[in-house]
Amino acid sequence: MLVHIPNVLTPEEVAHCRTTLEKSEWVDGRVTAGDQSAKAKFNLQIPQDSAEGRALGEIILRALGRNPTFNSAALPLRVFPPLFNRYDAGMRFHAHVDNAIRPVPGTGFRMRTDVSSTLFLSEMEDYDGGELVIQDTFGVQNVRFPAGDMVLYPSSSLHSVSPVTRGSRWASFFWTQSMVQDDTQRTLLYQFDQSIIETRKLLPDDSPAVLGLTSTYHNLLRQWAQL
C-alpha cells in the first residue's frame, strides 16, 4: 500500500527545518547504509547523533502524532528517529530494499522496518529529477510531492531515487514498526477505517451500522496486532 499524506508539516515547520538544515553539517549518506546499499547510495545526510537532527526529528514525531492518516495507515508501534538527506545535482540512489531490522540509536533496542516514509522538504519547483521510484505489487510509482507532504510505502518494496538534474532535493526519511506486520492486513484495516470515517459523516455514531463497523475493525485489529 502506498499512501500520500499531504501537509504533515505546516509551512512554518518546513521553513524552520530548512533554516536549521542550511546551518547544519552534511556528511556522506553511506554512513547509514548496509554493505550492499552503500554501493548504490550517492547523497548527503545530517549525522544521526547531531543536535540539529534530533531537534528536527522531535518536530516530525509530534507532527506524526497529530496526523490521523499516518496513524491509520501505519498503525505505529515504534518509529525510528527521523533522518535527513539531500540530493544535489548528479546525486542518486540506485534500486535497493531497506534493511529489515535497524538498531534504534541510543536505546540498545532493535526494530523491524515495516513501513518506509519520505517527508519532502524541498518545493517541487526547486529541483528537477529526484523522483522516489517505488516498485511493488501495486506497480511502479514515481513519487514527487510538495514540501511538507509525505509518502508511506512497504519497506519490502524495491525503490530508488532518480538522479537530480537541477537544484537540490531535501527530505526526511524514517521507518515504522507497525502493530500489524502484514501489509495486506494493514491495507485492509486502513481501507476499513476510511469507510468508517465516511459512514460516520452520514449516520450518527450510535447507529447500528457505525457500531457494527467499528466493532469489527477493532476485533480485526485485536486479532492481527503484535505488541
**Binding-site residues for Fe cation:** 96, 98, 159
Residues annotated in the binding site, as ranges? 96, 98, 159, 169
In this structure, which amino acid lies at residue 44?
L
Buried b or exposed e, range 91-110, using 16+ CB within 10 angstroms: bbbeebbbbeebeeeeeeee
Can you say which residues are annotated as belonging to the binding site for 2-oxoglutarate?
169
Phi, psi for 89 (deg, rounded to 5): -55, 130
Sorted by sequence, the CB contacts under 8 Å of residue 166 that are 6+ apart come out as 89, 127, 128, 129
Full DSSP string of 168-180: EEEEEEEEEEESS
